Amino acid sequence: MNCVSRRGLITAASVGITGPLLLDQAATAAGRAVIATKKVPVGGGVIVTARDVVVTQPRKGRFRVFTSVCTHEGCTVTDVAEQRISCPCHGSQFSITDGSVVAGPAPTPLPQQSFKVKRGKIYLT
């Protein structure tokens, strides 16, 4: 198995672009914001590795939060592009809208996380 460790992963993704991890130190504390909504691209998403989540915005103002742990064998997803969240290990891809499996061996969707938007920031609930 050559999975990407959840702890070892230091990447973030947005629409078509893989970039540096969003290491918001404050985000690791309980009750702290995961990410500012303005950092989540419309039609894409951002992987927030420090919180093990993917925050997406399928349509303007409509956010979703999913676990970033692939339901196949537990790798961390690493990319969000073309309306899909991708796992590098065996090629599973998930919808940014509902986490459903759109390609690959993953047996179930990415579980959604409950959240709220408050003052322009996403908080897990």
Residues that bind ligand FES (CB under 6 A): 3, 70, 72-75, 87, 89-92, 104-106
User: Shortest distance, CB of residue 125 to ligand FES, whole angstroms?
Assistant: 26
* Min CB(74)–ligand FES separation in Å: 6
In the complex, minimum distance from the CB of residue 77 to ligand FES, in angstroms, rounded to a whole number: 7
SS3 (DSSP) at 55:
strand
Q: What is the 3-state secondary structure of 80-121?
A: EECCEEECCCCCCEEECCCCCEEECCCCCCCCECCEEEECCE
Q: Residue 98's CB: how many other CB atoms inside 10 A?
A: 13
Looking at beta carbons only, is 58 or 74 nearer to ligand FES? 74
The smaller minimum CB distance to ligand FES, of residues 39 and 78, is found at 78
Q: Report residue 7 as tokens.
A: 């702890």
- Residue 43 or 105: the one with the smaller Cβ distance to ligand FES is 105
Partners of 125 in beta bridges = none
DSSP state of 19: E
* Residue whose CB is less far from ligand FES, 33 or 110: 110
User: C-beta of 89: minimal distance to ligand FES in Å?
Assistant: 4
